Amino acid sequence: MKKLILKPGREKSLKRRHPWVFSGAIARAEGEPKAGDTVAVHAADGTFLAVAAYSPQSQIRARVWDWRERDIDDGFLAGRVAQAVHARAALAAGGAGDVLRLIHGESDGLPGVIADRYGDMVVLQLLSTGAERWRGAIADALAALPGVRCVWERSDADVRALEGLEPQTGLLRGAAPASPHAVIEHGIKYEIGFESGHKTGFYLDQRDNRLRVRALAAGCDALDCFCYSGGFALNMLKGGAKSVTAVDSSADALAQARRHAELNQLPAAEWLEGDVFQTLRRFRDQGKSFDLIVLDPPKFAPTAAHAEKAARAYKDINLLGFKLLRPGGALATFSCSGGVSADLFQKIVAGAALDAGVEARITDWLHAAADHPVALPFPEGEYLKGLVCRVSV
């Protein structure tokens, strides 16, 4: 097997089973490995550490497949896919509906592989050279799952460029899926934009948090900021909100959200196209107020390097959110930035409440749903955090 030899002392993170080998840790490669090749990673003293997929263009130069010395082949990939699916059997049976993340990358022992199940279709996203190399085996394993009629590829995320990979999308296995593709989450129907929607078409990670917001909504004048295809707003309507206003900058997303409201015969909502930062200021100037506000912005800080600028943006919207809340109201506020820790996020939100002149307490700490696990040695896997803050009467 081709080899990567680390510099002295650089084996520590691998010994803790962190699955990435950074370029700066490598002393040399032996056997001229190419993109996607399996390499054996050795410490400077020759100790075997792991087998990994090689990625010559990326700062993350190798991603670990296994901690034992073994070949990586179709059977290995099929086994890992089966393990990931098996681990979710209880969730699939437990009312999550037919929308489930089946494979969550590194945390499922499949670095760079994301697979989301939408009813009888699976949308696959390959984000690393190792994942790319084993496309066929992964697609075969997914296509063979009971009830799966098609596997669709959505490998068009920007991060592929860091690995030197071109975008790739389209049908991989089975029959072309019905479009629009209808699914149900917590009793609400959605049509998944699997061809061009964000991520694989839907934000599955917010599944449980949408239900939590539904439970808070009865009788509320509610506001959903960054609503995308309506996830939180639809749950607010379903939960008996008195009124729902939803804001997003994307006309396409809003059209989908409106369609979802109709499809579910939910009461009318106000769907507003606009920038949330400006809209919240306008609402403040107009003296508007709400009982329940959701802030679910896009990733302001993809890495820790962007944390400071992101912190200002989070502070800004949370401050405005607190100002727009009526006494006794609740703010459900999220960050999906890997570069902003849960601890920092809580500090930012606390600062926003202080500056808004409100007293608030946290009633819920929220995370991604259970089909987005975080492997213990891989804290990078924890990206989504949320707080429900109730302000004093």
Identify which of residues 247 and 348 has a Cβ nearer to ligand SAH in the complex.
247
Identify which of residues 105 and 386 has a Cβ nearer to ligand SAH in the complex.
386
Q: How far is CA 352 from CA 32, 246, 287, 294, 321, in A?
A: 53, 22, 19, 15, 9
Q: x/- site string to ligand SAH, residues 231 to 260, per CB under 6 A? A: xx--------------xxxx--x-------
Asked whether the beta carbons of 386 and 362 are under 8 A apart, the reply is: no
Identify which of residues 163 and 296 has a Cβ nearer to ligand SAH in the complex.
296
Work out whether 275 is an interface residue with ligand SAH (CB under 6 A).
Answer: yes
Identify which of residues 206 and 245 has a Cβ nearer to ligand SAH in the complex.
206
* Alpha carbon distance 231, 224 (integer Å): 9
We find the least distance from the C-beta atom of residue 25 to ligand SAH, in angstroms, to be 34
- State which of positions 196-215 bind ligand SAH (CB under 6 A): 203, 206
Asked whether the beta carbons of 15 and 49 are under 8 A apart, the reply is: yes
Q: Looking at this protein, which amino acid is placed at residue 82?
A: A
Asked whether the beta carbons of 171 and 149 are under 8 A apart, the reply is: no
Q: Number of residues in contact with ligand SAH, rule: CB under 6 A? A: 18
Work out whether 190 is an interface residue with ligand SAH (CB under 6 A).
Answer: no
Using alpha carbons only, give the angle 382, 374, 48 rounded to the nearest 5 degrees: 115
Whether 150 sits among the annotated catalytic residues: the reply is no
Work out whether 386 is an interface residue with ligand SAH (CB under 6 A).
Answer: no
Q: Which of 63, 7, 18, 67 lies closest to 38 in space, CA to CA?
A: 63
- State which of positions 281-320 bind ligand SAH (CB under 6 A): 296, 298
Q: Which part of the chain contacts ligand SAH (CB under 6 A), choosing from 8-16, 227-235, 318-326, 352-360? A: 227-235
Q: From the candidates 150, 220, 225, 336, which is the catalytic residue?
A: 336
We find the least distance from the C-beta atom of residue 190 to ligand SAH, in angstroms, to be 9
Among 194, 228, 322, 383, binds ligand SAH (CB under 6 A): 228
Using alpha carbons only, give the angle 180, 184, 188 rounded to the nearest 5 degrees: 105
First to last CA, the chain: 66
The helix, strand and coil proportions of the chain, stated in percent and rounded to the nearest 5, come to 35, 30, 35
Asked whether the beta carbons of 228 and 198 are under 8 A apart, the reply is: yes
Among 65, 118, 152, 226, binds ligand SAH (CB under 6 A): 226
* Alpha carbon distance 346, 350 (integer Å): 6
Identify which of residues 116 and 163 has a Cβ nearer to ligand SAH in the complex.
116
Q: Which residues are catalytic, by number?
A: 336
Residues lying near ligand SAH in the complex (CB under 6 A) are found at 203, 206, 226-229, 231-232, 247-250, 253, 275-277, 296, 298
